[in-house]
Amino acid sequence: MRGSKGKSSVKDWKRTLVKLWAYLSVHKRLLTAVLVMVVISSSLGLLGPYLLGRAIDVYLVPRNSSGLLSFIFLIAGSYLLYSLSTWLQSYWMIGVAQRTVATMREDLFRQLHKLPISYFTKRQHGELMSRLTNDMDNVSQTLNSSFIQLFSSVLTFIGMLAMMIWLSPWLTLITLSIVPLMYFGMKWITARTGRFFKEQQRNLGDLNGFVEETLSGQRVVKTFSQEKRVIAEFEAKNERLKTAGYWAQTYTGFIPKLMNVLNNMCFAVIAGAGGILALNDMVSIGVIVTFSEYARQFTRPLNDLANQFNTFLSAVAGAERVFEVLEEEEEAGDEQRAVELKTVKGEIEFSGVFFSYEQDVQTLSGIDLRVSPGQTLALVGPTGAGKSTVVQLLSRFYEPSGGQIRVDGQDICRIKRHSLRQHMGFVLQDTFLFQDTIRENIRYGKLEASDEEVEQAARLANAHAFIMKLPKQYDTVLSQDGGGISQGQKQLLSIARAILADPSILILDEATSSIDTITEIKIQEALYRLMKGRTNIVIAHRLNTIRRADQIIVLEDGKIIERGTHESLLRQRGFYHGLYDSKSSRSKKGQLG
């Protein structure tokens, strides 16, 4: 069983490597230049010890000084070239590696934006962030050095082997005797490390996710005085990370040691055996010196390979996690025949729409509705009735499991997603503002808007007055938990943002829930003006905001139970009447008592 697991992971690696190569191959020309430099530096690296040995044999041992100086200059020249080529190869490789990593990061980022909303419901932000930082960091570190070392190691190894055989086949044979030892040692170690590296990266992502979430929810942690609990939970994750890290690192630590001992043994064997051979005049002292140096260098590429193999393992583990996201199924692509919508009149039609977020729970069943251009539709109903879901389907965050949704008579599945959304303006239930200036936050509705337009929109949304009271007014930077402004003010800003967007279809999902009613009345006029000439869908609990709607639909458990205008629904004395009544009756009671 373990064997089959191992095999599949080797296959995974291959896949990961092929994908990695696809990124690297963009820089083929630079990579070729790097390779050329690697060839040059590797051969010069081989030449150096040989020349050194020659210098000893030819000049030092026979005590012969004539010509030594020019020979030394020759060696100096090769050293200079060696350094130059080493420098160039890493200079270029850094560029290639970092550009590759940057591209991968960007692709990952793009991919995240292409994923359907449902992808994010089961994943922690921090865990995804970890893939983009911690995992990419591993890839970056490996690319920086491994690529070069991989090639130079192979080249050096081959070259050195050739030189050694040429110099002394016997000594070569003796030196090579350590290779099987090395092979089995490495196999034993790497069989263990790969698993731990994967686990380490996974645990790191897990920890990252936890930290991100705890920091986002810091307000609750504090007010509930749950620091100890959070710390305890953190500690458990921390502990798991430590354990995985410990084994990964320990085993990794064996590699250079193994190489070192083999290296030293080799050195000893060469010295000993070389000594014996020299006594029999089979080799010269110079050859032994050259050989001992070669032996060091011979194990070095293997050593490097081994060392690299481990950073390499952690990088593959990292890259795998990155590609995992990249391969995730994207938001269903636009149909081939999908069209762009140039202008939208704003006719909306749902016919027999079904939808469920999770299997066996119908969130919407058989929704039929029609909104004419310029009309306002209000959705009311108890929480969880499916009001927001209607909006989510209309904007194609999710696809209905049955039925059809049409805008201007066109099935929205046949409209390009971005084109569809471009004609819609949203004020969503969860106000989200960026950590940026107020001005830029409003401008988000229409990126090319001028400062005047931004202020105009703010005025319409009744946000101008409070903005002007802030220390830096429109240039006030919102802090991460919106510390500076209140929830209601945030809603005003997001209304301003929607006003600026000037859409054909306006969607207000609990847009004014945190705004006090006096302010709401003040912006009511602005909202009505805003809604004029557009098709509007309004979700609200406060009934007076929806009183003026052309059509009110009451949802319960994903079904439409009542529809009509405010007056007609009141006359029906049904659910809507009950909702309305629960408010007014209590107010009467209040007045009485």
Partner 1 sequence: MLKVFSYLKSYKLSIVIALSLMLTELVVELWHPLLMAHIIDDGIIGEDLSAVLRWGGIMVVLALIGFAAGIVNSFFAAHVSQSFGFDLRKHVFGKIQTFSFANFNKFPASTLITRLTSDVNQLQNIIFMGLRILMRAPLLMLGGLVMALIVNAKLALVLVLVTPVLLVFLLWIMNKGFTLFRLVQERLDTTNGVLRESLIGMRLIKAFVRFGHEVRRFTKANDDLMDRMIAALRLVELTLPLLLLVMNLSILYILWSGNRAIGSDSAEVGEIVAIVNYTLRITGAFSVVSLILTSVSRAKASGQRLAAVLDTKVDIVDSDEVNGDLCVKTGKLSFENVSFCYPDTDTPVLGSVSFTVQPGETLAIMGATGAGKSTLFQLIPRLYDVNGGTIKLDDADIRYFPLESLRMGIGFVPQEALLFTGTVRENIRWGNERASEDEMIEAARRAQIHETIMKLPKQYDTVIGQKGVNLSGGQKQRLSVARALIRKPNLLLLDDSTSALDAKTEANLLAALKEHQCTTLIITQKISTAMEADKIILLEEGRVLAEGGHEQLLHSSPLYRQIVQSQLGEGVAI
- Count the alpha carbons within 13 Å of 288 in the hemisphere toward its beta carbon: 18
Judged by CB under 8 A, does residue 98 bind partner 1?
A: yes
Helix (H, G, I), strand (E, B) or coil at 509: strand
For the bound state, the minimum distance from the C-beta of residue 532 to partner 1, rounded and expressed in Å, comes to 21
**Which tokens in the block code for residue 360?**
């066996």
The piece of 62-70, 158-166, 365-373, 563-571 that touches partner 1 (CB under 8 A) is 62-70
Number of residues that bind partner 1 (CB under 8 A): 181
The piece of 162-170, 320-328, 381-389, 407-415 that touches partner 1 (CB under 8 A) is 381-389
The piece of 341-349, 365-373, 404-412, 516-524 that touches partner 1 (CB under 8 A) is 516-524
Judged by CB under 8 A, does residue 536 bind partner 1?
A: no
Judged by CB under 8 A, does residue 333 bind partner 1?
A: no
* Cα-only R_g, the chain: 35
Q: Considering beta carbons, is residue 10 or 181 the nearer one to partner 1?
A: 181
The Cα–Cα gap between 237 and 177 comes to 45
The piece of 7-15, 17-25, 158-166, 379-387 that touches partner 1 (CB under 8 A) is 379-387
| Largest pairwise CA distance in the chain | 123
Stretch 403-442 residues interacting with partner 1 (CB under 8 A): 418, 421-422, 424, 426, 428-430, 432, 434-435
Judged by CB under 8 A, does residue 60 bind partner 1?
A: yes
Task: Using CB under 8 A, pick the residue from 112, 341, 561, 570 that binds partner 1.
Answer: 112
Strands 424-427 and 505-509: parallel
For the bound state, the minimum distance from the C-beta of residue 151 to partner 1, rounded and expressed in Å, comes to 16
For the bound state, the minimum distance from the C-beta of residue 8 to partner 1, rounded and expressed in Å, comes to 28
Chain-centroid distance, C-alpha 280 = 65
Judged by CB under 8 A, does residue 111 bind partner 1?
A: no
Task: Using CB under 8 A, pick the residue from 10, 26, 36, 102 that binds partner 1.
Answer: 102
Helix (H, G, I), strand (E, B) or coil at 239: helix
Judged by CB under 8 A, does residue 216 bind partner 1?
A: yes
Task: Using CB under 8 A, pick the residue from 16, 142, 144, 149 that binds partner 1.
Answer: 144
Helix (H, G, I), strand (E, B) or coil at 274: helix
Cross-strand partners of 379: 539, 553
Q: Determine the Cα angle at 296 with ends 291 and 300, to 5°.
A: 135
Judged by CB under 8 A, does residue 518 bind partner 1?
A: yes
Task: Using CB under 8 A, pick the residue from 11, 14, 532, 586 that binds partner 1.
Answer: 586
Stretch 561-580 residues interacting with partner 1 (CB under 8 A): 578-579
DSSP state of 67: T
Cross-strand partners of 377: 537, 551
* SS3 of 424-470: EEEECCCCCCCCCEHHHHHHCCCCCCCHHHHHHHHHHCCCHHHHHHC
Kindly tell me the sign of the dihedral angle through the C-alpha atoms of 369, 372, 373, 376: negative
Task: Using CB under 8 A, pick the residue from 15, 521, 571, 573 that binds partner 1.
Answer: 521
Q: Letter for the amino acid at 590?
A: G
The alpha-helical segments, DSSP class H, found in 342-412 are 387-394
Q: Considering beta carbons, is residue 264 or 351 the nearer one to partner 1?
A: 264
**Which tokens in the block code for residue 85?**
């080529």
Judged by CB under 8 A, does residue 525 bind partner 1?
A: no
Stretch 218-237 residues interacting with partner 1 (CB under 8 A): 218-227, 229-231, 234-235
Task: Using CB under 8 A, pick the residue from 26, 36, 80, 181 that binds partner 1.
Answer: 80
The piece of 17-25, 137-145, 339-347, 370-378 that touches partner 1 (CB under 8 A) is 137-145
H or E element, residue 423: none
